[in-house]
């Protein structure tokens, strides 16, 4: 099929002026006469299918289906409500603790955005982040999250001066805005030491324009911000790029953690990632840890930090303060 042929072409980097550039491709397909009788109708439906391909993670294709239009209208409604919700303070942050494997103490936590809308109720990020990216709303949303975290991190470093908070950064944010400048602007409003902030960047996002992303990361490191690669193992980076990134931590994707007690391949992958990361000087975080068996496996293989429901669900900053005052978890 031609769509598969096109996707295969874009799997490999393009060499332009000595630089390797990766391009992601999303394809929407409509069929005559099944999906339309005119060129305009076919193009409109192919465009709708393309947006669904983007929502599925890019580097993907989708055939048009009639129910896509109803989903498109729902997404448009969500986008309009999102614009109003940013002004009406309907968004808030929960925080999931990240625990040192050896001491069972909190060393950091990840900020997770939530949206509580009067009409739709609680809406989770997987339902609105892609819409925010497509509309550009992710930029003011990221700024709001940075302002909130910069304000709330002050509450936890009063208890533990070594604590820091991680914030997920969208690929759109890296590509379409000056993130270091945004952080400096927020710093002017909420003055903190940026050593208490970590930014999580996804693996697949970083290799789309390696040179530009490394330049941005170095600017962030100049501000003393910690950097982590999130969902490691699910993208398609190579060691050639990984060793160039000025990062502090690798986060192993939950998909691998889920299988470490039952699947030999997942066991090997996780052990290899931990060993490789340590040899490159990175700390390792395992996310999505839910059982004692998973925890014991990761501890035995020298994983540094654990995040997941085995210790705690995402909670308010006030609950994080309580955890810090208790100073340790005991799930054994």
Distance (Å, rounded) from C-alpha 101 to C-alpha 274? 13
Average pLDDT on 178-203 reads 92
For the chain, give the mean pLDDT: 86
The pLDDT value recorded for residue 3 is 62
Predicted TM-score (pTM) of this structure: 0.78
Phi, psi (rounded to 5 degrees) for 227: -130, 140
- Say if residues 152 and 144 touch (Cβ distance below 8 Å): no
Task: Reduce the secondary structure of 256-306 to three states and give it as a string.
Answer: HHCCCCCCHHHHHHHHHHHHHHHHCCCEEEEECCCCHHHHHHHHHCCCCEE
Task: Reduce the secondary structure of 71-130 to three states and give it as a string.
Answer: HHHHHHHHHHHHHHHHHHCCEEEEEEEEEECCCCCEEEEEEEEEEEECCCEEECHHHHHH
State the residue for tokens 């160039």. Answer: 244
20-34, 91-105, 130-144, 269-283, range with the lowest pLDDT: 20-34
Distance (Å, rounded) from C-alpha 235 to C-alpha 304? 22
The pLDDT value recorded for residue 235 is 57
The pLDDT value recorded for residue 238 is 58
Average pLDDT on 211-235 reads 87
Angle at 67 between CA 63 and CA 69, to 5 degrees: 90
Average pLDDT on 211-239 reads 83
Q: Give pairs for 231-237: CB < 8 Å, separation 24+.
A: 231/202, 231/203, 232/203, 232/273, 233/203, 233/269, 233/273, 234/203, 234/204, 235/202, 235/203, 235/204, 235/205, 235/206, 235/207, 236/203, 236/204, 236/207, 237/203, 237/204, 237/206, 237/207
State the residue for tokens 């992958």. Answer: 269
The pLDDT value recorded for residue 90 is 92
The pLDDT value recorded for residue 47 is 82
β-pair type (14-16, 19-21): antiparallel
Phi, psi (rounded to 5 degrees) for 111: -80, 130
Distance (Å, rounded) from C-alpha 122 to C-alpha 162? 32
Structure tokens at 318: 């006030």
Q: How confident is residue 71, by pLDDT bands cut at 50, 70 and 90?
A: low
Average pLDDT on 2-8 reads 69
- Residue 250 vs residues 28, 233, 273: alpha-carbon distances, Å: 34, 10, 9
Average pLDDT on 294-306 reads 96
The pLDDT value recorded for residue 210 is 80
Judge whether residue 237 has pLDDT over 60.
no
Length of the chain: 332
pLDDT 10s digits, 271-286: 999 999 999 999 999 9
Q: How confident is residue 32, by pLDDT bands cut at 50, 70 and 90?
A: confident
In the chain the domains, ranked by start, together with CATH numbers, are 2-65 (3.30.70.270), 76-326 (3.20.20.450)
74-83, 154-163, 166-175, 296-305, range with the lowest pLDDT: 74-83
- Say if residues 164 and 195 touch (Cβ distance below 8 Å): yes
Ranked by mean pLDDT, the top range of 21-35, 74-88, 157-171 is 157-171
Omega before 176 within 30 of 0, i.e. cis: no
């Amino acid at each position: 099929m031609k769509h598969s042929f096109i996707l295969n072409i874009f799997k490999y980097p393009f060499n332009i002026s000595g630089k390797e550039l990766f391009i992601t491709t999303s394809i929407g397909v409509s069929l005559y006469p099944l999906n339309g009788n005119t060129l305009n109708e076919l193009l409109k439906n192919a465009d709708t299918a393309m947006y669904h391909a983007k929502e599925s993670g890019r580097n993907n294709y989708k055939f048009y289906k009639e129910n896509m239009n109803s989903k498109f209208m729902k997404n448009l409604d969500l986008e309009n409500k999102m614009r109003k919700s940013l002004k009406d303070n309907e968004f808030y942050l929960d925080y999931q603790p990240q625990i040192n494997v050896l001491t069972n103490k909190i060393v950091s936590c990840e900020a997770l955005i939530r949206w509580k809308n009067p009409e739709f109720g609680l809406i989770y990020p997987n339902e609105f982040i892609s819409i925010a990216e497509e509309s550009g709303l992710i930029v003011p949303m990221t700024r709001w999250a940075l302002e909130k975290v910069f304000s709330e991190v002050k509450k936890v470093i009063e208890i533990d001066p070594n604590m820091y908070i991680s914030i997920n950064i969208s690929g759109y944010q890296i590509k379409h805005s000056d993130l270091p400048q945004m952080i400096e602007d927020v710093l002017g409003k909420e003055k903190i030491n940026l050593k208490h902030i970590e930014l999580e960047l996804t693996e697949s996002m970083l290799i789309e324009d390696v040179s530009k992303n490394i330049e941005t990361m170095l600017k962030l490191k100049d501000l003393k911000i910690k950097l982590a690669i999130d969902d490691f193992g699910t993208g398609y980076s190579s060691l050639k790029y990984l060793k160039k990134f000025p990062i502090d931590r690798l986060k192993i994707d939950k998909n691998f953690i889920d299988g470490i007690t039952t699947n030999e391949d997942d066991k090997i992958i996780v052990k290899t990632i931990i060993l490789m990361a340590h040899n490159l000087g990175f700390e390792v975080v395992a996310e999505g840890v839910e059982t004692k068996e998973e925890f014991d496996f990761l501890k035995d293989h020298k994983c540094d930090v654990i995040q997941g429901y085995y210790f705690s669900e995402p909670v308010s900053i006030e609950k994080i303060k309580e955890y810090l005052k208790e100073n340790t978890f005991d799930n054994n």
